[in-house]
């Protein structure tokens, strides 16, 4: 059995051109998750799946020993392409074994650290889960667009300290077996366990302003 960290990065981001190698706190964006996966003891191999020669060149300059480049097909690197499509493409072309464990990691979550990956994997094994994901605890109250409360009763508004909150996916890391991914064509399957990361890791890189926010968070929490 092999534990594979898989980080899909396209070159064609419309909101932020070449977003995945845009500098953040002195390093290209994808460096942070590549380094976290490379440093995680439980990870055997880190695959950066990209359609961009510029991204490929940048990643190879990281000199991270576990990191390899996978040249993803153009058909699965479009704006409309799902993450699962490139996962399945790689699994098929790399001829992975059914029992291999597949760690999907998103480069837009640079606050992910090696210890988070290791703790997620430990929880996944201890709970004998089929798949696992990272998330953060949020105590915000959510409403639908048509004015209906989603996660609380506004007539009995709880105090924050009494409200247990809900888990929000932070998109940082998911674990599943290759067998499950092929069968269900999804990053998650069956019994799912959740590993809670610090609240500040809810931030992801989607818009230009996110770089400003997350850069400060990287600086503040780099030694956590």
What CA–CA distance (Å, rounded) separates 109 from 117? 12
Q: What is the 3-state secondary structure (H, E, C) of 187-199?
A: CCCCCEEEEEECH
What CA–CA distance (Å, rounded) separates 132 from 122? 10
The number of helices, as runs of H, and strands, as runs of E, in the chain is 6, 9
157 is catalytic: yes
Question: Would you give the DSSP letter of residue 200?
Answer: G
Which listed residue (10, 72, 93, 157) is catalytic?
Answer: 157
What CA–CA distance (Å, rounded) separates 192 from 151? 21
What CA–CA distance (Å, rounded) separates 217 from 25? 10
**Torsion angles phi and psi, residue 29, rounded to 5:** -50, -50
Active-site positions?
A: 157
């Amino acid at each position: 059995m092999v534990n594979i960290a898989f980080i899909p990065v396209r070159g064609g981001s419309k909101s932020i051109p070449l977003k995945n190698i845009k500098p953040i706190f002195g390093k290209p964006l994808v460096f942070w998750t590549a380094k976290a996966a490379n440093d995680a003891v439980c990870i055997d191999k880190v695959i950066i799946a990209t359609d961009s020669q510029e991204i490929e060149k940048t990643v190879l300059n990281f000199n991270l020993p576990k990191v390899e480049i996978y040249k993803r097909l153009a058909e699965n690197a479009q704006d409309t392409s799902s993450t699962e499509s490139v996962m399945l493409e790689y699994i098929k072309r790399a001829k992975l074994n059914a029992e291999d464990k597949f760690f999907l990691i998103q480069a837009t979550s640079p606050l992910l650290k090696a210890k988070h990956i290791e703790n997620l994997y430990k929880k996944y094994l201890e709970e004998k889960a089929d798949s696992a994901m990272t998330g953060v605890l949020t105590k915000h109250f959510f409403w639908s667009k048509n004015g209906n409360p989603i996660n609380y009763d506004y007539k009995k508004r709880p105090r924050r300290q009494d409200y247990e909150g809900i888990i929000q996916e932070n998109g940082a890391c998911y674990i599943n077996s290759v067998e499950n991914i092929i069968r269900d064509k999804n990053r998650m399957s069956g019994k799912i366990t959740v590993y809670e990361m610090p609240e500040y890791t809810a931030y992801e890189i989607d818009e230009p302003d996110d770089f400003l926010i997350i850069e400060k968070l990287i600086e503040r929490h780099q030694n956590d």
